[in-house]
């Protein structure tokens, strides 16, 4: 399977998984519920599209180029609950509060499609990974969604 949001197969596969996500899906790890995860992913995509501000808190555990390579290239799952969430994408802090699940899921679907349609790199610098290529961004979008969809069994 394609593992990039810039590949139509990868994008379509994630959209199908999102469609299967329900608000009562039990979490496998972490503290977010499924609805919060939908809003969290929306906030992350809105930030990457330049529609929402974001700041990095603290120092990344590795230099940005190394962290980027590990997170985007190694064929390992991302840590379960071990990476701090930016406050602007944390629904218990400054992130978008969940309201109505179907509407919030439709918003995420639209943001994923907008991201997948980008002709170039997003207009931001990742706060932990630093400057990224278009390929890195596509991989980041896919892996971030995959991580949270696996969190809820879809």
Per-residue pLDDT of 31-71, as tens digits, reads 899 999 999 999 999 999 999 887 777 777 789 999 999 99
Residue closest to 106 by CA, chosen among 48, 38, 40: 38
At residue 2, the pLDDT reads 63
* Rounded Cα–Cα distance for residues 142 and 145 (Å): 5
Question: Who wins on pLDDT, 8 or 2?
Answer: 8
pTM of the predicted model as reported, rounded to 2 decimal places:
0.92
Report the 10 Å Cβ neighbour count for 115. 22
DSSP for 84-113, please give it: PPPGGG-TTTTSPPP--HHHHHHHHHHHHH
* Rounded Cα–Cα distance for residues 58 and 53 (Å): 17
At residue 1, the pLDDT reads 52
Q: If pLDDT is split at 50, 70 and 90, which confidence band does 85 have?
A: confident
What is the separation of C-alpha 56 from the centre of its chain, rounded to a whole number of angstroms?
Answer: 15
CB-count burial class (<10 Å; 0-12, 13-18, 19+) for 99: exposed
């Amino acid at each position: 399977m394609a593992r990039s949001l810039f590949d139509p197969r990868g994008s379509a596969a994630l959209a199908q998984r999102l469609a299967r996500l329900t608000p009562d899906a039990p979490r496998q790890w972490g503290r977010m519920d499924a609805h919060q995860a939908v809003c969290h992913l929306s906030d992350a995509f809105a930030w990457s599209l330049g529609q929402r501000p974001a700041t990095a808190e603290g120092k990344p555990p590795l230099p940005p180029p190394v962290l980027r390579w590990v997170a985007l290239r190694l064929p390992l799952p991302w840590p379960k609950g071990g990476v701090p969430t930016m406050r602007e994408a944390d629904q218990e802090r400054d992130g978008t509060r969940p309201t109505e699940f179907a509407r919030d899921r439709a918003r995420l679907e639209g943001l994923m499609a907008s991201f997948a349609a980008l002709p170039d790199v997003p207009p931001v610098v990742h706060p932990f990974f630093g400057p990224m290529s278009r390929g890195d961004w596509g991989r980041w979008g896919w892996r971030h969604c995959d991580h949270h969809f696996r969190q809820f069994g879809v």
